[in-house]
């Protein structure tokens, strides 16, 4: 009997169980623990866990890229501020302007920022992810790749998200075996992780349930409340343009705190920055945000710089990247300009027609 023939004669049950978590003692122990702490039915929790599947592709996708290419703001920006997203954003804003206006009035978070987030995250609900969230979160909790540089901390993070996902499903009547999202477990038009859903998601259209997949109103309101919860300051700009006085520039000192606003306008100027009038009057601290445009040694352009405020920092709480934050902000501003029928920068005007 060949090996192949032998393997096809395996009992069917063995095949159906492989790649699941049904027989894992660690999972059973965790199920009991979660059920007790979260006041859930232990049999229900174990039943859900035992139907989850380990996804090897999730283990691969969670790893940092092996080939590190130089960061490139111009290229990153071009991925998001492009004709399809601009058009979809304009249509979304026109269709749902009542909810965007209400969100801005309730929280002070600009409609443009909300439109920018939903555009960058999912192209206004077109790409919300089709991985079962339970499979993603179980894989990242019980089979997180040990080669990841922060494996222990990330495992802990996903364990907590898994718990909150179950608790949320139980509370809201969502079927945890049906819910789909990104490979990291982010859900709906705004790609909320379970913990963000628990803390910030709102029933903005008042139909009695929070639905971040099918209710643009709920998605809009939830993004606004996410930023309100992360310290959004009404009327404050996200960033200013900035120049340099080469004669007294201390770039290392300015870049040391990274994206965390750390310098008052006077201090920023003493370290060699040239601030526009509005930034000189800014009430609060500023950060010098550096965005690389490829490796200058390989023919890349010089970096781009902006002065970030506390509100720029708040945008990075959605996704911890200054490139992400500025893309979101600029996409929202470009759509706002389209709504006002203002001419776009020439690079976009042709494309957006
Ligand atoms: Ca709702």
Dist CA 95 CA 137 (whole Å) = 34
Instruction: Report pLDDT for 252.
Output: 97
198 Cα: distance to centroid of ligand 1 (angstroms) = 14
What percentage of the chain has pLDDT greater than the value 90?
86
Q: Are the beta carbons of 305 and 255 closer than 8 angstroms?
A: no
128 Cα: distance to centroid of ligand 1 (angstroms) = 18
160 Cα: distance to centroid of ligand 1 (angstroms) = 25
Q: State the residue for tokens 């979101």.
A: 328
210 Cα: distance to centroid of ligand 1 (angstroms) = 4
Average confidence (pLDDT) over 11-16 = 39
* Number of neighbours of residue 320 by Cβ within 10 angstroms: 9
3-state secondary structure of 308: strand
Residue 64's pLDDT band (cuts 50, 70, 90): confident
Residue 334's pLDDT band (cuts 50, 70, 90): very high
189 Cα: distance to centroid of ligand 1 (angstroms) = 13
Instruction: Report pLDDT for 349.
Output: 56
pLDDT for residue 18 is more than 60: no
Q: Is residue 145 part of a domain?
A: no
Instruction: Report pLDDT for 185.
Output: 98
Average confidence (pLDDT) over 15-22 = 67
Q: Is residue 353 part of a domain?
A: no
pLDDT for residue 353 is more than 70: no
Q: Is residue 117 part of a domain?
A: no
Instruction: Report pLDDT for 344.
Output: 63
Nearest alpha-carbon partner for 285 in 304, 307, 305: 307
Dist CA 335 CA 330 (whole Å) = 9
Q: Is residue 295 part of a domain?
A: yes
What percentage of the chain has pLDDT greater than the value 70?
91
Residue 15's pLDDT band (cuts 50, 70, 90): very low
In angstroms, what CA-CA distances link 171 with 188, 195, 210?
A: 18, 14, 12
Q: What tokens does 3 get? A: 């090996």
pLDDT for residue 320 is more than 70: yes
Q: What is the pLDDT of residues 106-160, one digit of tens each?
A: 999 999 999 999 999 999 999 999 999 999 999 999 999 999 999 999 999 999 9
What angle is formed at CA 295 by the lines to CA 292 and CA 296, rounded to 5 degrees?
Answer: 100
Per the rule left: phi > 0, alpha: psi between -120 and 50, beta: everything else, 144 is beta
User: For all residues of the chain together, what is the average pLDDT?
Assistant: 92
Average confidence (pLDDT) over 68-92 = 93
Q: Is residue 128 part of a domain?
A: no
Give the bridge partners for 59, in sequence order: none
Average confidence (pLDDT) over 340-346 = 71
331 Cα: distance to centroid of ligand 1 (angstroms) = 26
Q: What tokens does 284 get? A: 């609060």
pLDDT for residue 45 is more than 80: yes
207 Cα: distance to centroid of ligand 1 (angstroms) = 5
Q: Are the beta carbons of 63 and 332 closer than 8 angstroms?
A: no
Active site residue 235: no
Q: What tokens does 95 get? A: 């269709």
DSSP state of 71: P
Q: What is the pLDDT of residues 81-110, one digit of tens each?
A: 999 999 999 999 999 999 999 999 999 999
pLDDT for residue 10 is more than 60: no
Contacts of 247 (CB under 8 A, 6+ apart): 272
**Element at 302 (helix H, strand E):** strand 301-308
Q: State the residue for tokens 């023919």.
A: 299
Q: Are the beta carbons of 261 and 287 closer than 8 angstroms?
A: yes
Residue 297's pLDDT band (cuts 50, 70, 90): confident
pLDDT for residue 6 is more than 70: no
Position with higher pLDDT, 70 vs 205: 205
What angle is formed at CA 230 by the lines to CA 191 and CA 136, rounded to 5 degrees?
Answer: 30
Q: What are phi and psi of 179, to 5 degrees?
A: -60, 130
Q: Ligand 1 is a single-atom ion; what residues have CB below 5 A from it? A: 203, 205, 207, 215, 218
Residue 348's pLDDT band (cuts 50, 70, 90): low
Give the bridge partners for 308, in sequence order: 239, 287
Q: Is residue 277 part of a domain?
A: yes
Contacts of 251 (CB under 8 A, 6+ apart): 272
Range of the domain at 252: 239-308
Q: What is the pLDDT of residues 220-251, one digit of tens each?
A: 999 999 999 999 999 999 999 999 999 999 99
Q: Is residue 194 part of a domain?
A: no
Q: Is residue 226 part of a domain?
A: no
Q: Are the beta carbons of 72 and 194 closer than 8 angstroms?
A: no
pTM: 0.90
pLDDT for residue 8 is more than 50: no
pLDDT for residue 350 is more than 60: no
Our count of domains for the chain comes to 1
Q: What is the pLDDT of residues 159-183, one digit of tens each?
A: 999 999 999 999 999 999 999 999 9
Q: Where are the beta strands (DSSP E) in the chain?
A: 131-132, 180-181, 239-240, 243-244, 273-274, 287-293, 301-308
From 43, 104, 121, 161, the catalytic residue: 121
pLDDT for residue 293 is more than 60: yes
Instruction: Report pLDDT for 299.
Output: 86
3-state secondary structure of 33: helix
């Amino acid at each position: 009997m060949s090996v192949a023939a032998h393997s096809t004669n395996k009992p069917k049950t063995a095949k159906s169980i492989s790649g699941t978590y049904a027989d894992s003692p660690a999972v059973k122990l965790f199920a009991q623990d979660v059920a007790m702490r979260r006041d859930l039915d232990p049999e229900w929790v174990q039943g859900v866990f035992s139907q989850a599947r380990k996804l090897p592709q999730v283990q691969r996708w969670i790893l940092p890229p092996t080939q590190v290419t130089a960061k490139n703001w111009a290229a990153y920006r071009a991925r998001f501020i492009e004709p399809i997203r601009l058009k979809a954003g304009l249509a979304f804003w026109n269709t749902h302007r009542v909810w965007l206006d209400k969100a801005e009035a309730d929280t002070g978070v600009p409609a443009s920022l909300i439109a920018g987030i939903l555009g960058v995250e999912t192209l206004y609900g077109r790409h919300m992810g089709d991985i079962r969230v339970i499979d993603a979160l179980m894989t990242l909790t019980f089979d997180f790749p040990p080669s990841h540089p922060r494996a222990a901390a990330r495992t802990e993070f996903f364990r907590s998200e898994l718990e909150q996902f179950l608790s949320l499903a139980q509370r809201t009547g969502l079927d945890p075996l049906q819910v789909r999202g990104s490979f990291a477990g982010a859900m709906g038009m705004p790609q909320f992780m379970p913990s963000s859903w628990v803390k910030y998601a709102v029933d903005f259209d008042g139909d009695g349930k929070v639905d971040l997949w099918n209710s643009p109103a709920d998605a809009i309101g939830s993004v606004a409340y996410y930023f309100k919860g992360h310290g959004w300051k009404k009327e404050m700009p996200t960033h200013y343009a900035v120049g340099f006085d080469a004669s007294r520039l201390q770039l290392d000192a300015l870049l040391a705190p990274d994206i965390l606003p750390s310098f008052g306008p006077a201090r920023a100027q003493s370290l060699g920055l040239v601030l526009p009038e509005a930034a000189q009057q800014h009430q609060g601290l500023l950060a010098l945000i550096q965005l690389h445009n490829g490796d200058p040694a390989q023919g890349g352009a010089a970096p781009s710089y902006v002065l970030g405020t506390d509100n720029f920092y708040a945008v990075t709480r959605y996704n911890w990247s200054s490139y992400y934050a500025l893309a979101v902000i600029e996409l929202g501003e470009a759509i706002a300009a389209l709504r006002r029928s203002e001419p776009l920068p020439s690079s976009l005007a042709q494309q957006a027609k």
